[in-house]
Amino acid sequence: MSHVVMQSGAVPRYNATERVVHWAVAITFILLAASGLALFHPAFWFLTGLLGGGTWTRILHPFIGIVMFVAFAWMALRYWKDNVIRSYDREWGKRLGDVINNRDDGLPEIDKYNLGQKQLFWAMVITMVLLLLSGIVLWRDTVMAFPVTVVRISAVVHAASAFVLMVGIIVHIYSAIFWVKGSLRAMTRGDVSHGWAKHHHPLWYRRVTGNK
């Protein structure tokens, strides 16, 4: 393993299936955010054009939501163990100032994901479950009728969790593209450089390469 890794000049991080599922989640998320905003407020009504008008937006939004939930559930089941928050993550979090200023000496070694990624992961899990449950209620006539109070509470829960998820995904995209340079190729080509892995995820690097 370590020999193959060294030869290719890169460290594998995500296989093809993992990348296809991730981008399926990303594409369905964009469609859901746009169509959801259109259904939420008239200021965003123009976004209904994306799914072929108002009626199609109302019809398709819940089905696309199911697709996103199922694809994300696959990711969550696969990655939850890598996202358990450990004591060294908390220590790392306390020294965020040193992390940001590249004062790496004596920083706790990070595994496959850092504290920020892990917190975001659990925020995604919670909001996805809330969106699914409240979304099923709001689908009402199509599935079953719920008491009006339950529908009203679901409308608030749906909008609030969608807002949290959207803010979270903006942070996720910003950090994957601009903040931690060299991350994007993990989800495009599927691998990262040795330098990136050593610098950002030393514990994971040693585990997958067998390097000391």
| Residues found near ligand HEM in the complex (CB under 6 A) | 13, 22, 25-26, 29, 72, 75, 79, 83, 113, 117, 121, 124, 169, 172-173, 176-177, 183-184, 186-187
At residue 11, the 3 state secondary structure works out as strand
Q: Which of 61, 158, 172, 201 is catalytic?
A: 172
The residue (of 160 and 187) whose beta carbon lies closer to ligand HEM is: 187
Least distance in angstroms from the C-beta of 62 to ligand HEM: 17
d(CA 61, CA 68): 11
- Nearest Cα neighbor of 61 from 86, 39, 93, 80 is 39
Q: List all residues 6 or more positions away from 183 whose beta carbon is below 8 Å from its beta carbon.
A: 175, 176, 177, 192, 196
The residue (of 153 and 166) whose beta carbon lies closer to ligand HEM is: 166
Least distance in angstroms from the C-beta of 30 to ligand HEM: 7
- Nearest Cα neighbor of 40 from 19, 65, 58, 17 is 58
Cross-strand pairs, 11: 192
Least distance in angstroms from the C-beta of 174 to ligand HEM: 9
172 noted as active-site residue: yes
- Measured between its terminal Cα atoms, the distance across the chain in Å is 14
Least distance in angstroms from the C-beta of 109 to ligand HEM: 15
The residue (of 67 and 153) whose beta carbon lies closer to ligand HEM is: 67
The residue (of 38 and 110) whose beta carbon lies closer to ligand HEM is: 110
The residue (of 102 and 149) whose beta carbon lies closer to ligand HEM is: 102
Question: Which tokens in the block code for residue 27?
Answer: 């594409």
Least distance in angstroms from the C-beta of 146 to ligand HEM: 26
| The dihedral sign for the CA sequence 50, 55, 56, 57 | positive
Q: List all residues 6 or more positions away from 41 whose beta carbon is below 8 Å from its beta carbon.
A: none
The amino acid occupying position 5 is V
> How many C-beta neighbours within 10 Å does residue 89 have?
21
Active-site residues: which are they?
Answer: 172
